């Protein structure tokens, strides 16, 4: 298949492009590089020893979409989005425009070019504070910020499109917490500015770019008092996208799947695993809770197991070791 990957230069997109090339697919990337670097795509091609097609452009621009679709696209994986929760609270309209308007433009272009298969990046953030764990796809949806709102609106729009057009098949993937890097250490997560997420922050403390980790609260109702999440290796996540693409090609309608390991890990457990996997000490301070954080959640991935024949195979140790290989080989990320 020839797959259009929007946002393919980004963290999850670059790992997925590699998995697609390795699985024998042709790849066109459409990315405006607002949060990524073409170095990631150069390295993907070097690792795969295969080339991909890159269109620098915006999913909101019909002209850029037309260029991307020119190559004869069979299916789309849609990663392109803004993703910082705190920024979305300050600039909700920018998030709605980029994420929601971008997705509408993409669906219009797909329809115009007769492309009917879509795999979409959603997020476990749509569950908000869950009533029970593990969280399955039937859990109530409670978004608490504009980023989460944009994901939920996009899910609904894609669902309505599928309802109206029986030949459209879409898979909406709700990721839990993607972390880690390709084991080559050549591609990984390269946040701009101060990382919002735990794992890249820990990695930057280990490499000396940040002095100490701040642990946001140790008074949650969890065994060690720190927040619990379902961390998922980005290579497992990339492999799930290749399987979701195959699933979407045989399916019609809209299918929603959780992607996680089904296991929860606390902040302190993750820090200790990182120290063990890498030998790097992580100095830390316990500080107040971060506003809006939930105490704990992890996925019930049974539906993805059943529909895709997929389950995560990489451990927390792998996630830490691969993150550290990437960070130590690229102390400043993709910057020279």
Which residues here bind ligand NAD, judged by CB under 6 A? 6-7, 9-13, 30-36, 58-60, 79-83, 98, 102, 121, 123, 175, 178
Of 11, 127, 147, 231, the catalytic one is 147
Q: Which is nearer to ligand UDP, 62 or 223 (CB)?
A: 223
> Minimum Å distance from CB 50 to ligand UDP?
32
Q: Are 271 and 316 in contact (CB under 8 A)?
A: no
34 binds, options ligand NAD, ligand UDP, none, Cβ within 5 to 8 A by partner type: ligand NAD
80 binds, options ligand NAD, ligand UDP, none, Cβ within 5 to 8 A by partner type: ligand NAD
Crossing angle for the helix pair 146-164 and 102-112, nearest 10 degrees? 20
107 binds, options ligand NAD, ligand UDP, none, Cβ within 5 to 8 A by partner type: none
> Minimum Å distance from CB 15 to ligand NAD?
8
247 belongs to the binding site for ligand UDP (CB under 6 A) = no
198 belongs to the binding site for ligand UDP (CB under 6 A) = yes
Count Cβ atoms below 10 Å from residue 93 Cβ, excluding itself.
Answer: 9
From 38, 42, 45, 197, residue interacting with ligand UDP (rule: CB under 6 A): 197
Taking contact as CB under 6 A, which single stretch among the options 27-35, 92-100, 112-120, 192-200 is the one that binds ligand UDP? 192-200
Residue carrying the six token digits 């065994």:
223
Taking contact as CB under 6 A, which single stretch among the options 91-99, 130-138, 144-152, 208-216 is the one that binds ligand UDP? 208-216
> Minimum Å distance from CB 219 to ligand UDP?
12
Q: Which of 172, 202, 208, 329 is nearest to 276 (CA)?
A: 202
Q: Characterize the bridge pairing of strands 26-31 and 2-6.
A: parallel
204-212 long-range contacts, Cβ below 8 Å, gap at least 24? 204/327, 205/282, 205/283, 206/274, 206/278, 206/280, 206/282, 206/324, 206/327, 206/328, 207/327, 207/328, 207/331, 209/331, 211/283, 212/283, 212/284, 212/285
> Minimum Å distance from CB 228 to ligand UDP?
7
Residue 159 to residue 189: CA distance in whole angstroms:
30
Residue 171 to residue 303: CA distance in whole angstroms:
12
Distances (CA, A) of 49 to 44, 52, 166, 211: 8, 10, 38, 38
Taking CB atoms, the residue at the shortest distance from ligand NAD is 10
219 belongs to the binding site for ligand UDP (CB under 6 A) = no
Residue carrying the six token digits 């993805």:
304
Active site includes 297?
Answer: no
Give the containing element (helix H, strand E) for 4. strand 2-6
Catalytic machinery residues: 147
- Chain residues that interact with ligand UDP, rule: CB under 6 A: 177, 196-198, 201, 213-216, 227, 229, 267, 290, 293
């Amino acid at each position: 298949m020839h797959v259009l990957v929007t946002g393919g230069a980004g963290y999850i997109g670059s790992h997925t492009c590699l998995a697609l090339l390795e699985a024998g697919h042709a790849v066109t990337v459409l990315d405006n590089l607002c949060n990524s670097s073409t170095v990631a795509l150069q390295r993907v091609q070097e690792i795969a020893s295969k080339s991909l097609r890159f269109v620098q452009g915006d999913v909101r621009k019909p002209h850029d979409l037309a260029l991307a679709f020119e190559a004869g696209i069979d299916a789309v994986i849609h990663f392109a989005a803004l993703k910082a929760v705190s920024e979305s609270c300050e600039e909700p309209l920018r998030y709605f425009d980029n994420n929601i308007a971008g997705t509408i433009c993409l669906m219009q272009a797909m329809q115009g070019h007769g492309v009917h298969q879509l795999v979409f990046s959603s997020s476990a953030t749509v569950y908000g504070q869950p009533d029970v764990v593990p969280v399955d796809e039937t859990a109530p949806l409670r978004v608490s910020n504009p980023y989460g709102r944009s994901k939920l609106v996009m899910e609904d729009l894609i669902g309505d499109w599928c309802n109206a057009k029986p030949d459209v098949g879409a898979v909406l993937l709700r990721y839990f917490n993607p972390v880690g890097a390709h084991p080559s250490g050549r591609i990984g997560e390269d946040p701009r500015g101060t990382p919002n997420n735990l794992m890249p922050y820990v990695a930057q403390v280990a490499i000396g770019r940040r002095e100490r980790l701040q642990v946001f609260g140790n008074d949650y109702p969890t065994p060690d008092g720190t927040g619990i999440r379902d961390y998922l290796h980005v290579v497992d996540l990339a492999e799930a996208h290749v399987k979701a693409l195959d699933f979407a090609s045989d399916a019609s309608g809209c299918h929603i799947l959780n992607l996680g390991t089904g296991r929860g890990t606390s902040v302190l457990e993750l820090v200790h695993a990182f120290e063990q996997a890498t030998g790097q000490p992580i100095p830390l301070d316990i500080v107040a809770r971060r506003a809006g954080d939930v105490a704990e959640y992890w996925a019930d991935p049974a539906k993805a197991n059943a529909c895709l024949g997929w389950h995560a195979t990489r451990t927390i140790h792998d996630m830490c070791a691969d993150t550290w290989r990437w960070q130590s080989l690229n102390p400043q990320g993709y910057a020279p």
